[in-house]
């Protein structure tokens, strides 16, 4: 399987990766850093954090407009309460989701 390049570095436990294929083994490791991302929505999104998170932890379920790790727009993406295994480079709008944390 071929993986395209990410738009920014995926940081996992202090290491930077440019593709999901290279990061596969480290993605199974426990997270080392969590950053609350609500205040970054629409203002540089996740790029204001320490890189692209490997997932999101959401306190209040709802929709969000985001850009995935490959640069594609995801409009109205449904986020569930708890762990969301999505790689996103930016949150442009939090429609109804809240208390969103990046898992690094």
Question: Torsion angle of alpha carbons 79, 102, 42, 76, nearest 10°?
Answer: -10
Alpha-carbon distance of 85 to 55, in angstroms, equals 5
Residue range 53-73: mean pLDDT, rounded: 89
Q: Tokens for 38, please give them.
A: 């609500």
Interatomic CA distance for residues 18 and 75, integer angstroms: 24
The answer to whether the predicted template modeling score (pTM) of the entire model surpasses 0.75 is: no
Tell me which residue has tokens 């959401």. 58
Give the chain's end-to-end CA distance (angstroms, integer).
Answer: 24
- The pLDDT-based confidence of 83 (bands split at 50, 70, 90) is very high
Q: Output the six-digit token pair for 98.
A: 């809240």
Range of weakest confidence among 1-5, 7-11, 52-56, 75-79: 1-5
Show me where the domains of the chain are located: 10-103
């Amino acid at each position: 399987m071929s993986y395209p390049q990410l738009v920014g570095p995926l940081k996992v436990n202090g290491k930077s990766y440019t593709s999901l294929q290279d990061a596969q083994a480290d993605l199974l490791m426990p997270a080392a850093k969590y950053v609350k991302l609500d205040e970054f929505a629409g203002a540089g999104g996740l790029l204001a954090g320490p890189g692209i998170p490997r997932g999101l932890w959401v306190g209040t379920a709802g929709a969000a407009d985001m850009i995935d790790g490959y640069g594609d727009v995801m409009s109205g993406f449904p986020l569930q309460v708890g762990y969301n295994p999505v790689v996103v480079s930016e949150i442009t709008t939090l429609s109804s989701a809240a208390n969103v944390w990046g898992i690094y």
